[in-house]
Structure 1
Amino acid sequence: MEFSRLNAPSLKELFIEHLEKMILSGKLVIGEKLPSERELAESMHISRSVVNAGLAEIADKGFLEIIPRSGTYVADYHKKGKLDTLVSIMKFNGGTLPDADILSILQIRKVLTALALDLAMPRITDDEVKQLFKHSALLDKTNDSTRAAELVFEFDHLLCGFSGNTLLPLIFYSFKAPNTTLFERFFRLYGFDAMRRRTDALCHAIRARDLVTAKEVLARSIEETISGSTRIYR
């Protein structure tokens, strides 16, 4: 049996993880001013260059606001964060998300996939439909929740690509980490049959160019995960 090589995190990565945990746990509150870079470096026994680079990266995620000639302050990451912020929140929560964030992701997914169908249906080719059926067939064959989550995400991402809107697949892909995490949770809780039926029904509706049915299938599937029999948050 072969074992993969272990890579220790760098000091910068450890510094970032430590500060993010302090912010997400509430030990550092919104609006609080951090000590100077020199003070942080001395108290944590790391170089100022590590502190400087780490603070810049944390600020880029929306956790901090660096104000020239004033200092570094804890920011309201719900207002100034981005997708990297969401990944940090997931990491802090052991790979999961708070219920409010799960609901928000499902609502966004519902909007994006509905838009993808609206735009793709008038222009989708037979070859593109075959690609969707191929992914549906692969989903039928797997019993691995991680692989199944990837396939479902790839299916929906393909659909976004077939829309002809150049930004839609980019926006959808930016949500890959939280989406695949939710899909894995779905498969662990409810198995594979429900999502297989959803994907198969969607493929047949798209092949028939039946926009109404396709949107109903997608909307019903997502609504079930929000408040129905396959709900994936409390």
Structure 2
Amino acid sequence: MSLRKIVPPTMKELFIKEVERKILSGEWKIGDRLPTEREMAKETNVSRTVINSGLYELAQNGFVEIIPRKGVFVGDYIRNGQLNTLLSIINFNGGKFDKKTFDSLTSYRIYFDCECAYLAAQNRTDDDLKLMNSIYKKALESTNSTERFQLKFEFLHAIYCATGNNIYPLVCNSFKKLCITFNELIYRILNYEPIDYMAELIDTIEKKEPNEARKVMYAFLTERIDELKQVYFKD
């Protein structure tokens, strides 16, 4: 058994987390003006350089809006945020999804994953099939849950690549952290990491049966989601 290397957070990361906490807890509301950089540096005992860099990253994720000559204000992070914004919200909730976020994410997964399974069965190449089978074999042999989370994402990415659409794999990559987080959640709640669907899905893609591929992906996703929902929101 081995332990992962522990890396302490930087001052910028700590500053960002503190500002996110203020905003996500409702202590600082949308439209509120933040203290000046000088005031925040004094209060937190952090350099203004770190404060400035942290505010820029917060602005990139929609948490704040920087208006020249006026100041820094709490932003509408739901409208203007990115995937990192969503991850911050999830982490603030202790890794737990609220029901609306859960339903929104799973709706996205069902729609796009099923569509990509359909297109993969239409457009896959022999190399695509070799890659999918290789990943599936590694997943079967792996006894490490963290490695299997990664392999499940690689399998999904391989399906997105097999669609023949150059943009879909980029979309999949942008959701990588979220996909792995969701796989970890399934494992933590349901105590298993299903991979059997991979073989059935590969079979339909190999036979170029797009409708069947879509059905396999839909059945797998909806079954897992319904099962997870019953446990996750039982209270």
**TM-score normalized by the length of structure 1:** 0.89
Amino acid at match of 2:212: T
Count of matched residue positions in the alignment of Structure 1 and Structure 2? 232
Post-superposition offset of 1:79: 0.7
List per-residue Cα deviations over 1:105-151 (Å, max 9, x = no partner): 22212222223233322221233212212222222223432222111
SS in 1 for 2:187: helix
Paired position in structure 2 for 1:197: 196
d(CA) in 2 for partners of 1:178 and 1:94?
A: 14
Paired position in structure 1 for 2:184: 184
Counterpart contact for 1:135–1:151, Cα < 8 Å: yes
Paired position in structure 1 for 2:163: 163
Change (3 A) 1:102 1:159: same
Counterpart contact for 2:160–2:172, Cα < 8 Å: yes
Change (3 A) 1:47 1:127: closer
Paired position in structure 2 for 1:59: 59
Counterpart contact for 1:148–1:184, Cα < 8 Å: no
Post-superposition offset of 1:11: 2.0
RMSD: 2.2
Counterpart contact for 1:124–1:162, Cα < 8 Å: yes
Pair 1:221-2:220 in alignment: yes
Counterpart contact for 2:12–2:50, Cα < 8 Å: yes
Amino acid at match of 1:215: R
Unaligned stretches of 5+ residues in structure 2: none
Post-superposition offset of 1:207: 1.3
Change (3 A) 1:163 1:56: same
Identical residues among aligned pairs (%) = 35
d(CA) in 2 for partners of 1:200 and 1:103?
A: 27
**TM-score normalized by the length of structure 2:** 0.89
Counterpart contact for 1:59–1:66, Cα < 8 Å: yes
Unaligned stretches of 5+ residues in structure 1: none
d(CA) in 2 for partners of 1:176 and 1:99?
A: 21
